[in-house]
Structure 1
Amino acid sequence: MTSNPPIRLMDRYREELVVRHYARRTIQSYSHWVKRFLHFHGLRHPREMGAVEINAFLSHLATEGQVSASTQNQALSALLFLYRHVMGVEDVDLKGLVRARRRQRLPVVLTLEEVRQVLDHLEGSNQLIAKLLYGSGLRLMEALRLRIKDLDFQQRQLSVRDGKGGKDRVTMIPERLIRPLQEHLKRVKEIHRADLERGWGAVEMPQALEMKYTNASREWSWQWVFPQAQRWKDRTSGRQGRHHIDPSIVQRAMHTAVRTAELSKPATCHTLRHSFATHLLERGQDIRTIQELLGHSDVKTTMIYTHVLNRGPTGVLSPADLL
């Protein structure tokens, strides 16, 4: 028995995910679940296991691990990918699988005044990012992965590239954020110019574009809107560059702002996106437009925001209000 999962197997697994253009975070999560699956069964090779072992592992996650339904589904997807695309097994019998119960939870939504309070307790890039989450309906990673070329100030819109589900979409740039963003980009440009003078200034390029456009990684249009403060360094090649701000920095700042504002709601960065959608509905914006702005595949996903309106989902007046 070896002490680690088969290295070559995991390398092949990650390669198959990369070839199919899975997001970096998805690759990390899927690899994590495959390793847990192998360790759960004593590091046996997947070819020695099948549906029985998959069912046992997933049922263990639901009963002993108490994981959410979405987490169990992600683990299942990771294992199905392993067997279908790496092991060549198309049909996996999942009869008898104990599934985690999916709970329908309403999103946490802040009032307009609560949003103001939270934003007032943020500063610098963290505040600007939070304003984009609320003003444009972005997910946190969508905001952090914005590049200069994705911002169109003339049309007052920004492009989200390769968002959740690998989809692109266009959403608005709030009018009052245009000048702060432009001032912010002036400072970013100075940082980029200084990096170039020192022989660096390259950013990571999506997929295989770096091989196709060898100098594009140093061009201004491809730089991150929110670059990290320190350059990363490749220990092997010595190459340096800047990645975007780490999401944990913004998440910690948001947590501190919510606590300082003394809000009773468990608000996170994603709460600002929920508030964006709900406040648009309150102002009478049609659900289909909000669906497009949020990038939801199904309008049913967007419909959940109708349940958190002060008026209720159908605008029914409570009889208590007539007393």
Structure 2
Amino acid sequence: MKLLNQVRQKLRAGHYAYRTEQAYVHWIERFIRWHAKIHKRWRHPSEMGTPEVEAFLSHLAVDRHVTSSTQNQALSALLFLYRHVIEKELGDLNAVRAARSRHLPTVLTPEEVGRLLECLQDRSEAHGAYALMASLMYGSGLRLMECCRLRIKDIDFGRNQVMVRQGKGNRDRAVPLPRTVRERVQQQVQWREKLHRRDLEGGEGRADLPHAFERKSPSAAYDLAWQFVFASDRLSRCPRTGRSGRHHLHENALQKSFQRAVRSAGIPKRATCHTLRHSFATHLLASVS
């Protein structure tokens, strides 16, 4: 659709994250298709307004039983569409803005974390990188995508520090590199360096760069410093540019391996990769109290 391409262009011009772009396009397309199904004909969003937005969000809440965060994400996508693409203000939508639910996070005990990491370590998937990634998420408090997107330049062995670039809220921060995984991280970087040399010899070796920096220094895409630490086994094409390169390991693969390890460890809790971050914070507070 031409409209969805306009949405993508506006989002990229505003430096929105690619995941935000995917989510917003998804909800805008669902909004259009749902009204086409209801009214038996296609309607451009410019022909619709506040009543149609309210009806769609009510459908999500009442018929689809989506969570409050999902409902508010759909609302944000539609507000972006009308304000920045169609340039049409909507009326008061407070009635369909869901109240944020507050749940206590799942926290694993230190013993459960140990069993979980042992089960991941026993697996040979992704050259054992999943176990190391889980150890970093627990030992450094990294989020899933922060861990996946780590680049070689972001690891400072001299200061035992990891730099998180463009984390949540587009903010940078420094986190400790646990001494217990320092040697394994060094081995991972050495393996990554060998893989990068092979890629360069084969005419590849490109990593996606932040857009502003890529325009300033396009050759940096082939530098070792900008390569992802936890690289995929295969080359792929960037969904935005279409250029071939070696991306990081896919987060879904890590999540699936993590869930298998949770079951193997016999942990009767609803644990995800993000649970390691909550466990890190809880255990850190307990150690200083």
Unpaired runs of 5+ residues, structure 1, are 1-6, 286-323
Q: Aligned Cα RMSD in Å?
A: 1.8
Pairwise CA distance, 1:234: 7.5
Check conservation: 2:199, 2:205, Cα contact below 8 A.
yes
Match of 2:35 in 1: 41
Q: Distance in 1 between matches of 2:202 and 2:100?
A: 53
Match of 2:86 in 1: 87
Equivalent AA in structure 2 for residue 76 of structure 1 = L
Match of 1:319 in 2: none
Q: Distance in 2 between matches of 1:209 and 1:100?
A: 38
Alpha carbons of structure 1 residues 240 and 102: separation in structure 2 relative to 1, 3 Å: closer
Q: Are 1:183 and 2:183 counterparts? A: no
Q: Are 1:172 and 2:160 counterparts? A: no
Match of 2:217 in 1: 213
Q: Distance in 1 between matches of 2:112 and 2:221?
A: 40
Match of 2:8 in 1: 14
Match of 2:39 in 1: none
Q: Distance in 2 between matches of 1:214 and 1:141?
A: 24
User: 1:171-218: per-residue Cα shift (whole Å, max 9, x none)?
Assistant: 111111111100111111000001101111011111232222121000
Pairwise CA distance, 1:83: 0.6
Pairwise CA distance, 1:240: 3.2
Check conservation: 2:50, 2:90, Cα contact below 8 A.
no
The aligned runs of 1:1-323 (5 Å cut-off) are: 7-42=1-36, 43-94=42-93, 97-100=95-98, 102-123=100-121, 124-233=128-237, 240-284=244-288
TM-score, normalization by structure 1: 0.82
Check conservation: 1:68, 1:102, Cα contact below 8 A.
no
Pairwise CA distance, 1:94: 1.5
Q: Distance in 2 between matches of 1:239 and 1:11?
A: 19
- Aligned to 2:16, the other structure's residue is in SS state coil
Q: Distance in 2 between matches of 1:261 and 1:249?
A: 18
Equivalent AA in structure 2 for residue 23 of structure 1 = A
Q: Distance in 2 between matches of 1:203 and 1:265?
A: 37
User: 1:131-163: per-residue Cα shift (whole Å, max 9, x none)?
Assistant: 011001011100000111111111111111111
> Sequence identity of aligned pairs in percent?
50
User: 1:71-110: per-residue Cα shift (whole Å, max 9, x none)?
Assistant: 0000000000001111112453225x34545432110000
TM-score, normalization by structure 2: 0.92
Unpaired runs of 5+ residues, structure 2, are 37-41, 122-127
Q: Distance in 2 between matches of 1:275 and 1:210?
A: 36
Match of 1:304 in 2: none
